[in-house]
Structure 1
Amino acid sequence: MAKGISKAARKALARTNWRRIDAMTDGDIARQIASNRDAAPDMAPEIDVRAIRRATGMTQAEFATAYDFSVRTVQEWERGAKKPSGPARTLLRAIRSDPEGLRKALAAA
Protein backbone atom coordinates (compact mmCIF):
# COMPACT_ATOMS: atom_id res chain seq x y z
CA MET A 1 0.00 0.00 0.00
CA ALA A 2 1.15 3.55 -0.67
CA LYS A 3 2.99 5.27 2.18
CA GLY A 4 1.09 8.56 1.84
CA ILE A 5 -2.29 7.03 2.58
CA SER A 6 -4.03 8.04 5.82
CA LYS A 7 -5.06 5.67 8.60
CA ALA A 8 -8.72 6.39 7.84
CA ALA A 9 -8.21 5.50 4.19
CA ARG A 10 -6.42 2.28 5.16
CA LYS A 11 -9.34 1.33 7.42
CA ALA A 12 -11.84 2.05 4.67
CA LEU A 13 -9.87 -0.07 2.21
CA ALA A 14 -9.69 -2.92 4.71
CA ARG A 15 -13.50 -2.84 5.14
CA THR A 16 -14.20 -2.75 1.41
CA ASN A 17 -16.03 -5.76 -0.01
CA TRP A 18 -13.92 -6.21 -3.15
CA ARG A 19 -15.87 -9.27 -4.34
CA ARG A 20 -19.05 -7.23 -4.37
CA ILE A 21 -17.32 -4.45 -6.27
CA ASP A 22 -15.81 -6.89 -8.77
CA ALA A 23 -19.28 -8.39 -9.35
CA MET A 24 -20.79 -5.03 -10.32
CA THR A 25 -21.83 -4.66 -13.94
CA ASP A 26 -21.66 -1.51 -16.04
CA GLY A 27 -25.44 -1.33 -15.64
CA ASP A 28 -25.13 -1.44 -11.84
CA ILE A 29 -22.61 1.38 -11.93
CA ALA A 30 -24.74 3.45 -14.31
CA ARG A 31 -27.79 3.04 -12.04
CA GLN A 32 -25.79 4.11 -8.99
CA ILE A 33 -24.48 7.17 -10.79
CA ALA A 34 -27.98 8.06 -12.04
CA SER A 35 -29.40 7.82 -8.52
CA ASN A 36 -26.67 10.04 -7.01
CA ARG A 37 -27.71 13.69 -7.18
CA ASP A 38 -24.14 14.79 -6.52
CA ALA A 39 -22.67 12.87 -9.46
CA ALA A 40 -21.52 15.05 -12.34
CA PRO A 41 -23.44 14.45 -15.58
CA ASP A 42 -21.70 12.76 -18.49
CA MET A 43 -20.45 15.69 -20.54
CA ALA A 44 -19.02 13.64 -23.40
CA PRO A 45 -20.37 14.95 -26.70
CA GLU A 46 -22.72 12.66 -28.60
CA ILE A 47 -21.25 10.66 -31.44
CA ASP A 48 -23.53 10.13 -34.45
CA VAL A 49 -22.44 6.66 -35.53
CA ARG A 50 -24.93 6.53 -38.41
CA ALA A 51 -23.59 9.81 -39.84
CA ILE A 52 -20.00 8.61 -39.50
CA ARG A 53 -20.83 5.31 -41.23
CA ARG A 54 -22.84 6.97 -43.99
CA ALA A 55 -19.98 9.39 -44.67
CA THR A 56 -17.82 6.34 -45.42
CA GLY A 57 -20.39 5.08 -47.94
CA MET A 58 -20.41 1.68 -46.23
CA THR A 59 -23.23 -0.59 -45.15
CA GLN A 60 -23.44 -1.55 -41.49
CA ALA A 61 -21.81 -4.90 -42.29
CA GLU A 62 -18.99 -3.31 -44.30
CA PHE A 63 -18.37 -0.70 -41.60
CA ALA A 64 -18.30 -3.34 -38.87
CA THR A 65 -15.86 -5.51 -40.81
CA ALA A 66 -13.59 -2.62 -41.82
CA TYR A 67 -13.23 -1.25 -38.29
CA ASP A 68 -13.51 -4.48 -36.28
CA PHE A 69 -16.93 -3.90 -34.68
CA SER A 70 -19.72 -6.45 -34.60
CA VAL A 71 -22.67 -5.70 -36.87
CA ARG A 72 -24.97 -5.95 -33.86
CA THR A 73 -22.96 -3.31 -31.98
CA VAL A 74 -23.15 -0.91 -34.94
CA GLN A 75 -26.91 -1.51 -35.17
CA GLU A 76 -27.38 -0.88 -31.44
CA TRP A 77 -25.35 2.33 -31.60
CA GLU A 78 -27.27 3.60 -34.61
CA ARG A 79 -30.70 3.02 -33.10
CA GLY A 80 -29.59 4.45 -29.73
CA ALA A 81 -30.00 1.22 -27.75
CA LYS A 82 -26.37 1.56 -26.64
CA LYS A 83 -23.79 4.32 -26.70
CA PRO A 84 -20.15 3.83 -27.66
CA SER A 85 -17.78 4.49 -24.79
CA GLY A 86 -14.06 4.65 -24.10
CA PRO A 87 -11.92 3.17 -26.86
CA ALA A 88 -14.89 2.82 -29.23
CA ARG A 89 -15.59 6.57 -28.98
CA THR A 90 -11.94 7.30 -29.71
CA LEU A 91 -11.94 4.96 -32.70
CA LEU A 92 -15.15 6.50 -34.04
CA ARG A 93 -13.66 10.00 -33.78
CA ALA A 94 -10.61 8.77 -35.70
CA ILE A 95 -12.86 7.19 -38.35
CA ARG A 96 -14.73 10.51 -38.68
CA SER A 97 -11.41 12.35 -39.21
CA ASP A 98 -9.73 9.95 -41.64
CA PRO A 99 -11.84 6.90 -42.49
CA GLU A 100 -9.67 5.62 -45.33
CA GLY A 101 -6.36 6.14 -43.54
CA LEU A 102 -7.62 4.38 -40.44
CA ARG A 103 -9.11 1.52 -42.46
CA LYS A 104 -5.77 1.01 -44.21
CA ALA A 105 -3.87 1.14 -40.90
CA LEU A 106 -6.17 -1.44 -39.33
CA ALA A 107 -5.97 -3.69 -42.39
CA ALA A 108 -2.16 -3.56 -42.27
CA ALA A 109 -2.00 -4.35 -38.55
Structure 2
Amino acid sequence: MSDAFKSIGQGLKEAIAHARGENLGKIHEIEIPDADVQAIRARTGLSQVEFAKSIGVKKSTLLNWEQHRRSPEGPARVLLALIDKDPSIVQRTLAHWHPDHPI
Protein backbone atom coordinates (compact mmCIF):
# COMPACT_ATOMS: atom_id res chain seq x y z
CA MET A 1 0.00 0.00 0.00
CA SER A 2 1.16 3.51 -0.75
CA ASP A 3 1.61 6.12 1.96
CA ALA A 4 -1.24 8.13 0.43
CA PHE A 5 -3.60 5.13 0.62
CA LYS A 6 -2.63 4.53 4.28
CA SER A 7 -3.16 8.20 5.09
CA ILE A 8 -6.60 8.24 3.46
CA GLY A 9 -7.55 5.03 5.28
CA GLN A 10 -6.46 6.49 8.60
CA GLY A 11 -8.42 9.67 7.90
CA LEU A 12 -11.56 7.65 7.17
CA LYS A 13 -11.16 5.67 10.39
CA GLU A 14 -10.80 8.91 12.34
CA ALA A 15 -13.86 10.42 10.62
CA ILE A 16 -15.99 7.37 11.48
CA ALA A 17 -14.79 7.45 15.10
CA HIS A 18 -15.60 11.16 15.28
CA ALA A 19 -19.10 10.56 13.85
CA ARG A 20 -19.65 7.98 16.58
CA GLY A 21 -18.61 10.49 19.22
CA GLU A 22 -15.29 8.78 19.88
CA ASN A 23 -11.88 10.42 20.02
CA LEU A 24 -13.21 13.95 19.84
CA GLY A 25 -9.89 15.36 20.96
CA LYS A 26 -9.17 18.01 23.52
CA ILE A 27 -11.16 21.19 23.77
CA HIS A 28 -9.21 24.14 25.04
CA GLU A 29 -11.18 26.95 26.60
CA ILE A 30 -9.48 30.26 27.08
CA GLU A 31 -10.92 32.85 29.42
CA ILE A 32 -10.83 36.21 27.68
CA PRO A 33 -11.29 39.25 29.91
CA ASP A 34 -13.84 41.92 29.13
CA ALA A 35 -12.53 44.32 26.52
CA ASP A 36 -12.29 48.08 26.91
CA VAL A 37 -13.25 48.56 23.29
CA GLN A 38 -12.83 52.33 23.28
CA ALA A 39 -9.29 52.07 24.68
CA ILE A 40 -8.38 49.29 22.24
CA ARG A 41 -9.64 51.33 19.29
CA ALA A 42 -7.81 54.43 20.53
CA ARG A 43 -4.51 52.51 20.55
CA THR A 44 -5.03 51.60 16.88
CA GLY A 45 -5.31 55.27 15.94
CA LEU A 46 -8.41 54.53 13.86
CA SER A 47 -11.69 56.40 13.85
CA GLN A 48 -14.84 54.56 14.86
CA VAL A 49 -15.81 54.09 11.22
CA GLU A 50 -12.34 52.85 10.24
CA PHE A 51 -12.06 50.51 13.21
CA ALA A 52 -15.55 49.05 12.73
CA LYS A 53 -14.82 48.45 9.05
CA SER A 54 -11.44 46.87 9.83
CA ILE A 55 -12.97 44.25 12.14
CA GLY A 56 -16.09 43.67 10.07
CA VAL A 57 -18.80 45.14 12.30
CA LYS A 58 -21.26 47.97 11.86
CA LYS A 59 -20.41 51.33 13.39
CA SER A 60 -23.56 51.05 15.51
CA THR A 61 -22.27 47.77 16.96
CA LEU A 62 -18.96 49.40 17.83
CA LEU A 63 -20.78 52.34 19.46
CA ASN A 64 -22.85 49.95 21.57
CA TRP A 65 -19.67 48.21 22.73
CA GLU A 66 -17.87 51.47 23.48
CA GLN A 67 -20.85 52.83 25.41
CA HIS A 68 -21.26 49.54 27.31
CA ARG A 69 -24.80 48.95 26.06
CA ARG A 70 -23.66 45.61 24.64
CA SER A 71 -20.56 43.44 24.96
CA PRO A 72 -18.64 41.74 22.19
CA GLU A 73 -18.98 37.96 22.19
CA GLY A 74 -17.39 34.95 20.54
CA PRO A 75 -14.98 35.65 17.68
CA ALA A 76 -15.28 39.43 18.11
CA ARG A 77 -14.10 39.11 21.69
CA VAL A 78 -11.10 37.03 20.59
CA LEU A 79 -10.26 39.50 17.81
CA LEU A 80 -10.42 42.42 20.23
CA ALA A 81 -8.10 40.57 22.63
CA LEU A 82 -5.59 40.12 19.80
CA ILE A 83 -5.85 43.79 18.84
CA ASP A 84 -5.43 44.74 22.50
CA LYS A 85 -2.08 42.91 22.55
CA ASP A 86 -1.01 44.10 19.08
CA PRO A 87 -2.95 47.15 17.84
CA SER A 88 -1.74 46.85 14.22
CA ILE A 89 -2.34 43.10 13.82
CA VAL A 90 -5.39 43.48 11.56
CA GLN A 91 -3.80 46.03 9.24
CA ARG A 92 -0.54 44.03 8.96
CA THR A 93 -2.27 40.72 8.47
CA LEU A 94 -4.74 41.91 5.84
CA ALA A 95 -2.47 44.44 4.10
CA HIS A 96 -1.82 42.23 1.07
CA TRP A 97 -5.52 41.96 0.19
CA HIS A 98 -6.96 44.41 -2.30
CA PRO A 99 -9.81 46.45 -0.73
CA ASP A 100 -12.29 44.87 -3.17
CA HIS A 101 -11.07 41.33 -2.48
CA PRO A 102 -13.43 39.32 -0.26
CA ILE A 103 -11.74 38.27 2.96
Higher helix share: 1
Among 28, 33, 39, the alignment partner of 1:51 is 39
Residues 30-77 of structure 1: per-residue CA shift (max 9 Å, x gap): xxxxxxxxxxxxx85221000000111111101011221210110000
Between the aligned partners of 1:96 and 1:81, the Cα distance in structure 2 is 20
Q: Structure 1 pair 44/98, CA: closer, same or farther in 2 (3 Å)?
A: closer
- Return the offset for 1:99: 2.3
Q: Which AA in structure 1 matches 2:72?
A: P
Matched, 1:93 2:78: no
Q: Which AA in structure 1 matches 2:45?
A: G
Task: List alignment gaps of at least 5 residues for structure 2.
Answer: 1-19, 22-30, 98-102
The corresponding residue for 2:69 is 81
The higher-RCO structure (CA 8 Å, 6+ apart) is 2
Calculate the TM-score normalised by the size of structure 2: 0.58
The corresponding residue for 1:102 is 90
Moved segments of 4+, more than 6 Å: none
Calculate the TM-score normalised by the size of structure 1: 0.55
Between the aligned partners of 1:44 and 1:96, the Cα distance in structure 2 is 11
